[in-house]
Amino acid sequence: MDKITLNNNIQMPMLGFGTFLMSGAECEDSVLSALRSGYRMIDTAEAYGNEEAVGNAIVKSGILREELFLVTKVNFRSYENTRATVETSLKKLQTDYLDLVLLHWPFGNYYAAWRELEKLYQEEKIRAIGVSNFDPDRLIDLIEFNDVVPAVNQIETHLLCQRRAEHEWLEKYHVQHMAYAPLGQGRKNEMFEASALAEIAKAHGKTAAQIALRFLMQSGVVVIPKSVHEARIKENFDVFDFELSTDEMAQLVKMDTAVPMIGSPENPAMVEAAMKW
């Protein structure tokens, strides 16, 4: 497993397993399959409602806690009760510490929530703290007026929305870029049908999904693909035995439309959807 060192010297896997829209037995079985396939980072969130299922899968796996990297998020509706929310996550995940906790959206009183996360970080209940769906202006503002620089910003990132401008800002402030929806979700077909991607996949004897993940990882972006199908779970993990050339990377850069489909706090449809969580 390739790892990257965060701004507080904690090591984080470059590839993890996402659990968005998973629940119950399906979530538990999928996470267990991922762990057995080699994944050691699991991403969940309070808003997903599946932390308990993730925790059950981890216990069933028998993998030592110190070998895992657990990520969860505090939903913006809970920002006034951040400490209690994190403590509930600890119980549901059946662990006494979390590797990374993120503020899920830049809505509500996220300053109060961030300062509570800072306290939990200082108490060593959380090894690293970060944010999700923060545009550069809000991220920089948070950095300038608080003590702890976010270790991670998790944002929608894939071949059709590579977040290249945002990536430059993240590098400047030493915040790790983490991609959710790295395979495009609703734009998967549009992405996978691109001729450049298909040709590169054929040249390496890999699938389009594997090339898409490898591109992001070589760009310094952490990825968390999700699937409930065992074959796909294994396929998405099989990306460490090849490397894209400089020319292939350049071809894939051209696929970028710079338009996020999901994660923009300025998108009215996204705000409306978030309010329903």
CA 228 from chain centre, in angstroms, equals: 17
Q: Is 79 a catalytic residue?
A: no
CB within 8 Å of 179: residues ≥ 6 apart: 154, 155, 156, 157, 158, 216, 221, 222, 223, 224
- The DSSP 8-state label assigned to residue 126 in this structure reads B
CA distance 232 to 187: 17
CA distance 274 to 277: 5
40 closest CA partner among 1, 96, 89, 10: 1
CA distance 237 to 234: 5
Asked if 166 and 158 count as a contact pair (C-beta separation under 8 A), the reply is no
Catalytic-role residue among 48, 79, 110, 180: 48
Query: What totals of helices (H) and strands (E) does the chain contain, helices first?
Result: 12, 10
CA geometry: angle 66, 72, 73, nearest 5 deg: 155
- Residue 132's DSSP bridge partners are 154
Tokens encoding 230: 């065992």
**Three-state DSSP class for residue 53:** helix
Q: Which amino acid is at 118?
A: E
CA 128 from chain centre, in angstroms, equals: 14
Query: Catalytic site residues?
Result: 48
